Amino acid sequence: MPEKITTRIAVGLSMLVALFGLLAWDHWSGHAWGLAALTLLMTTWGGREIAKLFRAAGAPANKWLIMGFTALLIITRSIGEELHIPKLIELEPAILVAFAFFLLFPPLTGAPSREVFLGIAATSFGFFYVWYLGSYVIRLRYLPGLGESAAYYGILVAKGSDITAYFTGKALGRTKLIPVISPGKTVAGFVGGLVGAVLITVAFCLWTPLGTVVPLKLSAPIGIILGLVAVAGDLVESLFKRSAELKDSARLLPTFGGILDVTDSIQTAGPATFWLIYLLREVS
């Protein structure tokens, strides 16, 4: 087995063990502080990386604004949900107004320029990408009646499809999927990822409270939809990297890259999972 694949498997297994250990601790404690801490770390550090990608592409995003307000909002929602303080969660709009003021007012002290305009646009989108999309892991965790299963499903359907896509592509992949954006992705890997997403959905429908909301007969189409969304999230982050002419969002994890290289599929699968479950609850 090539050394690169061996290293990837070792690092991947280490991350999975750490994740499952954290989730097991949350389950045993009856709280979600571990998941909240992980989400805080991933989204905040992801803000640093997305700002780096935009800067490399010529749009000077403000990483401190992205990271600071992302951390503040994730902490606010996590504490509000965990301690059942709705008034704390209701502060989110005020925090967003503060972000807008800190983003828009300082440039008024200088001269208008294309760089200033691109910086404002990049900071705005970077903040939306890491905070708003990333916060759905926390929102899933506190869906009434589902507890842990919704959040764990949102994470595992994204990363499970990633894993099955990777190994299917390595074993059977010949035809490239979208080489101009992601040279490593193959059609076989894409199909393998969808199959993985369906199998994970079936398992959650059979053996977790998710089955009370998602009927088993819908597990295949739901799995395919979320598998497609997860792949799209991966490709979007690849688009960012190719546009910035960078291979990885960072050099943090051997063979994986940065935090965004790990969470890219969750960024899109998390919100899609939340709204699919929400709609199915409403019509059931």
- Tell me, yes or no, whether 126 and 195 share the same domain: no
Is residue 14 situated within a structural domain?
no
Q: How many domains does the chain have?
A: 2
Is residue 24 situated within a structural domain?
no
- Tell me, yes or no, whether 178 and 210 share the same domain: yes
- Tell me, yes or no, whether 89 and 221 share the same domain: no
Last residue in a domain, options 85, 103, 134: 134
- Tell me, yes or no, whether 189 and 123 share the same domain: no
Tell me what pLDDT residue 2 has.
60
- Tell me, yes or no, whether 254 and 205 share the same domain: yes
- Tell me, yes or no, whether 180 and 241 share the same domain: yes
Domain that holds residue 230: 148-284
- Tell me, yes or no, whether 82 and 181 share the same domain: no
Tell me what pLDDT residue 145 has.
85
What pLDDT digit, counting tens, does each position of 136-178 carry?
A: 999 999 998 887 899 999 999 999 999 899 889 888 878 898 9
Radius of gyration, CA atoms only, the chain = 19
- Tell me, yes or no, whether 102 and 180 share the same domain: no
pTM above threshold 0.85: yes
Per-residue pLDDT of the chain (284 residues; tens, 9 = 90+): 565 778 877 887 888 888 888 888 988 998 899 999 999 999 999 999 999 999 999 999 999 999 999 999 999 999 999 999 999 999 999 999 999 999 999 999 988 899 999 999 999 999 999 999 999 999 999 998 887 899 999 999 999 999 899 889 888 878 898 989 988 889 999 999 999 999 999 999 999 999 999 999 999 999 999 999 999 999 999 999 999 988 888 888 787 888 999 999 999 999 999 999 999 988 87
Is residue 22 situated within a structural domain?
no
- Tell me, yes or no, whether 54 and 122 share the same domain: yes
Contact by Cβ (8 Å): 22, 35: yes
- Tell me, yes or no, whether 154 and 129 share the same domain: no
What pLDDT digit, counting tens, does each position of 49-85 carry?
A: 999 999 999 999 999 999 999 999 999 999 999 999 9
